[in-house]
Amino acid sequence: MNARGTGPEGGSAAEAGAEVPFGEAVRAWVRVAVHSFGGPAGQIAVLHRVAVDEKRWVDEQSFLRALSFCMLLPGPEAQQLATYLGWKLHGVRGGLVAGWLFVLPGFVSILALSLVYASFGDSAAVGALFYGLKPAVLAIVLHAVWRLRSRALATRFHLTVALLAFIALFVFHVSFPFVIVAAAAAGALRAGRTGAAAPASATPTVGRALDASGTFGRIVVWLLLWLVPVGALVLFLGASHVLSREAVFFSKTAVVTFGGAYSVLAYVAQQAVENFGWLSPGEMLDGLGLAETTPGPLIQVVQFVGFLGAYRNPGDLSPLTAGVLGSIVTTWVTFAPCFLFIFAGAPLIERIQGRPRVERAMGAITAAVVGVILNLAVWFALHTIFADVTRRSFGIITVDVPALPSLDAGALLIAILAIVATFRLRAGMFTVLGGGAGLGMLWRLLF
């Protein structure tokens, strides 16, 4: 194996059975983490660019299979995908490093910005700093969709599944899990009807084997790591303490976040604002803006909520200490379940691949994932280039419609330049993101 992780004849390291140096993987996960802007669509694109295109640690099929599985889980799919890929390369230690590094830059950024916000109440500088990043991320997302479509949509059936998934999400706003499950059922039924064998590209399981006792042990360990701190807070501080209430509330939230962050933010906002009184509706929107302009999963907006809730209700603690602890507790109970799901489920997914019906189902899920990413890309484009986007209904159809006068000329210009740099000039991800950020700052300074 060469230094880039490729195996014989250009195959992936996983296919070749080669070992990727752990230090090289850590450096790559750090790079992914600091570039993980733009919500799940942008983050998945970054992971694809690094793990598949550049390092070739996994092939397209393995990447899409992992993504399909993560789409079925509650929680941030991009962070879980990073954990899955890290686990696939180096087992539990690889998953831990990839998963937590994915969260760390966003955690540090939001903690610092939460402190500034609580002290000064002004996040305008953050918007100016990251103004150009979103249009640049849009180019990376579109490039990922373009690359995925060639391999995931090899047949008319898969193209149909992808289009139907996009329509279901964008037009009818069907939940992500239902779309993925429906695609899996369609693929399995098609396999049963045709009696077809597994695709020629299907290969025997490579990498981590399924160990029932080991998997059970990991489930027990992560359940304890997740829930024991929650129980300790309730026991020693009391159920009414703000840290206990945050631990319990966000533990519940962690297991109902199907369909990504946007599907659960309305619930979090309602409870945090109306039930607990931790912050105001406007502050919730400010927190969402901070999460959208910092690296890491968008669901990390809950850290902002946890900080303000504890900062303003510190009890016997100082406000700063309470706020930092609120951030830590909220982040832990939000992401610890993600590791539980991956370390328990990834071995099973690796084990059952290659079975005809499973491969057909996973192939259909993969096609649906292309539609899912396309939907995210379109949604992201609309909200990046237009300041005012409203949801309108036309009979049974409901779509997001931008207000043309709200077109952001600067964002559009940066997006076009980033697309040209990505597709035509084949510029690297760092160049595109860095150039976008620089152009954004320049635009804000000039206009």
pLDDT value, residue 84: 96
Q: What is the pLDDT of residues 162-188, one digit of tens each?
A: 999 999 988 888 876 688 789 889 988
Residue 342 CA to residue 102 CA, distance in Å, equals 15
Residue for token pair 């069907």: 174
List beta partners, residue 390.
401
pLDDT value, residue 21: 92
Query: Residues in the chain with pLDDT < 70?
Result: 1-18, 38-39, 121-130, 150-151, 176-177, 191-213, 256-267, 282, 285, 288-289, 292-293, 353-354
3-state secondary structure 414-441: HHHHHHHHHHHCCCCHHHHHHHHHHHHH
Angle between helix 409-419 and 356-385 (nearest 10): 140
Centroid of chain to Cα 224: 25
Give the number of C-alpha atoms closer than 13 A to the C-alpha of residue 388, restricted to the C-beta side: 5
Q: What is the pLDDT of residues 146-167, one digit of tens each?
A: 877 766 787 899 999 999 999 9
Helix (H, G, I), strand (E, B) or coil at 230: helix
- The contacts of residue 395 (CB under 8 Å, 6+ apart) are none
Structure tokens at 386: 């237009």
Residue 337 CA to residue 444 CA, distance in Å, equals 40
Helix (H, G, I), strand (E, B) or coil at 321: helix
pLDDT value, residue 358: 76
pLDDT value, residue 138: 84
Whether this prediction's pTM lies above 0.75 is answered by no
pLDDT value, residue 214: 74
Q: Where are the alpha helices (DSSP H) in 153-300?
A: 156-170, 176-194, 212-237, 242-254, 262-270, 281-292
